[in-house]
Structure 1
Amino acid sequence: MVEGLDLSGPSRRWRNWAGNQRADVPAVQPASADEVAHVLTTAAAAGRRVRPIGSGHSFSAIGLPDDVQLGCGRLAGIRSIEPDGRVTVGAGTTLHRLGTELLRRGWSLTNLGDIDRQTVAGALATGTHGTGARFGGLATQVRGLELVLPSGEVLDCDAQRHPEVFGAARVGLGALGVVTAVTLQAEPAFALRAVEGPGTLAAALEGFEELMTSADHVEFYWFPHTDATLLKCNTRLPLAEGLDPLPRWRAAWDDEVVANAAFAGVVAAGRRVPALVPPLARFSARALGRRAWTDHAHRVFVSRRRVRFLEMEYAVPRSDAPAVLAELRRVHEAGDWRTAFPVEVRLAAADDVPLSPAVGRDVAWIAAHVPARTEPGRWFDALESIAGEVGGRPHWGKLHGLDAAALRARYPRFDEFVALRDRLDPAGVLTNGYLDRVLGPGAHR
């Protein structure tokens, strides 16, 4: 039995990391696939809807429960590591914990995003990615899934067993079943040589391909109201070549004082006095100078994010990225906007996952941010419109305004996924308002 299983019991107050999604609903915390199955079959018999949730790092309403919330905090920990580097972990294991545990055993994940507080299952469900022209998102590292269907069946799936379910569930939006365990392909632990420094947007757009392929993992941040960028280039190195981490005082100064505390002050001042945003943006662009260091991969991939924000991110065809960014800059300069947060630009390789924003094409990820507890308004509208002109696809865990009709036109395998969802969850046990919007209400309506 599931501890505290009472679908009509007292509500639990929940909010996501950014604070823009909130709910008061009954919550359950199963500790095994069998307990998850019990929750789902009980809910189905009662005509209830269940929404699984990880650590709540999505900005969109993908994890927002409108009936019952299923937490995966007790589905955590490493189950096994094979000699070839295949690691099986509980769905509620955070990427932060996984990176640390893998390193202790001599392994690393191939690529990570710049935040690692998400659970493995939550990161997969939303299509989480890092950067690197040759590297796909987290879903491309998956080799197997333990998936509990709304019927209560526990399905072990991979490329040979139930391949159609496996292929789709790697970015499944939590719509096909509840992922309770994941097998990932790790690789021998490696280091990253990180080189960071200032640049310009004009130079980035003129030599976009050369710049973004100049190292294994490249990204840059453009500071609106300026031409300034912060460029980050990470090169993969064998651990045998040694580490040269930042001195603790430098890491604390750059990452805690400048990147978080000082930037929090910039954001707060800009909210109180919007006219200060342009000069403060120029200050922010100059605040972080050049630096270089070498450390374990997962420590370099990830950045601390203590200033809370809202985010929209679109994957656009890689060849269209310079034009999209140029138009975004033109629109920004033509408007009377106050944009304190930088725009983040990354790359990802094409993959074959039906609802991955990189399905079938190499992409550039372009992300805009605004402070938490503010209205994104026209700034996000502008990015969505410009990205839409080239068929851009939104990150599932970040804010966007598209519905099933618009998304069907941008995903060649959209109907394939929806048909699978309708087959596996005909009663809509796992749906919520967000999924009804982006996938359509399905057979249960």
Structure 2
Amino acid sequence: MTPVRWRNWAGNQRAAGVEVVRPRTTGEIATVLHEASVAGRQVRPIGSGHSFSGIGRPEQVQLVLDRHADLVDITADGLVTAQAGMPLHRLNAVLAREGWALTNLGDIDRQTIAGALSTGTHGTGARFGGLATQVRALQLVTADGAVLDCAAAANADVFAVARVGLGALGVLSTVTLQAEPAFALHMEERPMPLAEVLEDLDGFMTSTDHVEFHWFPHTAMCLTKRNTRVPVSEGLSPLPRWQALWEDELLANGAYSGLIAAGRAVPALVPPLARFASTALSPRTATDLSHRVFVSTRRFRFREMEQAVPREAVPHLLRELARLTQARGWRLPIPTEVRYAAADDVPLSTSEGRDTAYVAVHVPARSDPTDYFTTFAALAGEVGGRPHWGKEHDLDAGALAQRYPRFAEFVAVRDRLDPTGVLSNAYLDRVLGAVSPERGPVGGRPSAPGC
């Protein structure tokens, strides 16, 4: 097999000389891992490559699940089982046709189910958890080729941690999610002064079901998005196609692309152009199926750091970012995004044990974010910030163990399931520590099914 080159969506993670395998069945996944284990080779599973961190970077063998991406079953009570390589946008379309929907989604749907779960993907909504909280069962192929069926009542210790597993425990083969009857979202978008939003942040972010806002650096303005859950039976009134094309494709994506291009050519143009863009926004409303409202299209490439922080920390964090943006002379053409999520019980979820606010900062893909990201990470670290696993950060296992009360629980299961580091790479060695073989492997290897 001819070695290939790989790069992620943003282009900041690259690898060369990689062997790529595309298994079609659980049995084939098990064979790949068992053979790698015997040969002492390392395997990294990859989804869409949308992570900005090195979590998916292959070092020897890359396992791609694009041929293991079909729907398995939808039950009468909304339990949907799919092969882990299915992209979220395909799953959303299948569920909508059958009258179901996922409870919450992030704003990008290009990720595979496995990739979204493994990195802790979340949406927004003060009462709603991330995608991992919707998982009811999963099938995991471990480093030696063992196939584990995991749920609350079967391999419960593995299930507890594998809902956000970083691809470190094994390769997800199938996932069962709890869907709910299809619902619509009434969308309200309008510009607001940042000071007004921060004056009663909790009140604003809990004013309806799913709320977020995007602050434009170099300005005092933000774009607010409030989505209220309504029955589909009340009718849909989506944006006319021409309006969506004009506002989302030409104005929003076009404006960001223009800001990025202008900033690259003449950095001094970024602040006045950002101020103009923030004043050009107009209010709009629409009602459409939930997945069509949750998801946004991104036509421009960027790099991202996102930190999960206590909700009460957000006003100070944003005010400091605004002050430092001016003091440091940063030129930031892409807005900062703020979302909420409910506490959950998943050990490496960024919302484990606490109600959370997510603050995400961005730079153009071909720029150097070091000063900006390092400063933002330090500010978030002062309040116990937890970095999104799929986005850029420089923390190691020692620091992360201080921010996740159940960190050792996860690492113990990782060491047991992959005692020789078959599924590891440089990123996982940094954030989890190298494997500790003395803990010993999981019990005997079950036979692998052929489906």
TM-score normalized by the length of structure 1: 0.97
User: Number of residue pairs matched?
Assistant: 437
In structure 2, distance between residues paired with 1:232 and 1:240: 23
1:150 alignment partner, one of 143, 146, 165: 143
In structure 1, the residue matched to 2:51 is 58
Select which of 171, 176, 189 maps to 1:178: 171
Structure 2: give runs of 5+ residues left out of the alignment: 439-451
Aligned with 1:395 (options 388, 391, 405): 388
Q: Is the 8 A contact 2:325 2:331 kept in 1?
A: no
Structure 1: distance between partners of 2:147 and 2:96? 30
Q: In the alignment, which residue of structure 2 is the partner of 1:81?
A: 74
Conserved? CA contact 2:213–2:339, under 8 Å? yes
Structure 2 counterpart of 1:12 = 4
Cα pair 2:256 2:334 within 8 Å, conserved: no
Q: 1:217-262 CA deviation, whole Å, 9 max, x = no partner?
A: 0000001111100000000000010000101110000111011123
Q: Deviations over 1:284-321 (max 9, x none)?
A: 21233110000000000000001100000000011222
Shift of 1:19: 1.0
1:279 maps onto 2:272 in alignment:
yes
- Separation in structure 1 between the aligned mates of residue 281 and residue 156 of structure 2, nearest angstrom: 47
Does the 8 Å contact 1:258/1:287 carry over to 2? Answer: no
Q: What is the identity percentage for the equivalent residue pairs of Structure 1 and Structure 2?
A: 63
Query: Which residue of the partner structure matches residue 3 of structure 1?
Result: none
Task: State the partner residue of 1:160.
Answer: 153
Query: Residue 364 of structure 1 corresponds to which residue in structure 2?
Result: 357
Partner of 1:193: 186
Residues 310/102 of structure 1: CA separation in 2 closer, same or farther (3 Å cut)? same
Range 378-387 or range 299-308, more displaced: 378-387
Q: Which residue of structure 1 aligns with residue 238 of structure 2?
A: 245
Residue 86 of structure 2 is matched in structure 1 by 93
User: 1:320-347 CA deviation, whole Å, 9 max, x = no partner?
Assistant: 2222222222222322111111100000
In the aligned structure 1, how far is the partner of 2:409 from the partner of 2:3?
A: 36
Match of 1:22 among 1, 14, 31: 14
Hey, what's the Cα distance between the residues in 1 that align with 2:259 and 2:145? 50
The equivalent position to 1:113 in structure 2, one of 106, 114, 125, is: 106
SS of the equivalent of 2:376 reads helix
Separation (CA, whole Å) in 2 of partners of 1:283 and 1:98: 38
Alpha-carbon distance in 2 for matches of 1:434, 1:143:
28
Which residue pairs with 1:437 in the alignment?
430
Q: Is the 8 A contact 1:258 1:288 kept in 2?
A: no
Contact kept? 1:321, 1:364, Cα under 8 Å: yes
Structure 1 residue 444, shift from structure 2 partner = 5.3
State the alpha-carbon separation in 2 of the partners of residues 116 and 334 from structure 1: 36
Say if 1:221 and 1:342, in contact at 8 Å, map to a contact too.
Answer: yes
> Alignment partner of 2:186: what SS?
strand
1:291 corresponds in structure 2 to 284
Q: Which amino acid aligns with 1:251?
A: A
Aligned to 1:6: none
Name 1:4's counterpart in structure 2. none
In structure 1, C-alpha distance between the alignment counterparts of 2:414 and 2:283, rounded to whole Å: 48
2:222 alignment partner in structure 1: 229
Matched, 1:45 2:47: no
Listed one character per residue, the Cα deviations across residues 329-371 of structure 1 (whole Å, up to 9, x for unaligned) are 2222322111111100000000000000100000000000000
1:112 partner SS:
coil
Corresponding residue of 1:375 = 368
SS of 1:339's partner is coil
List per-residue Cα deviations over 1:268-292 (Å, max 9, x = no partner).
0111100001001112212331100
Q: Which runs of 5+ in 1 are unaligned?
A: 1-8
- The 1:11/1:287 distance shift into structure 2, 3 A limit, reads farther
- For the residues of structure 2 that align with 1:424 and 1:68, how far apart are their CA atoms? 19
Q: 2:444 maps to which residue? A: none
Measure the CA separation in 1 of the matches of 2:150 and 2:412: 18
Equivalent residues of 1:277, 1:338 under 8 A apart: yes
8 Å Cα contact 2:304-2:360 kept in structure 1: yes
Task: Please tell me whether the aligned partners of residues 418 and 435 of structure 2 are also in contact (alpha carbons under 8 angstroms).
Answer: no
CA–CA separation in structure 2 for the residues paired with 1:287 and 1:169: 44
Q: Distance in 2 between matches of 1:32 and 1:239?
A: 37
> Within 2, Cα distance between the matches of 1:312 and 1:261?
22
Task: State how far apart, in whole Å, the 1-side matches of 2:384 and 2:171 are.
Answer: 30
- Give yes or no for contact 1:254–1:288 (8 Å, CA) kept in 2: no
Contact 1:222 1:342 in 2 (8 A): yes
**What is the distance in 2 between the residues matched to 1:170 and 1:286?**
42
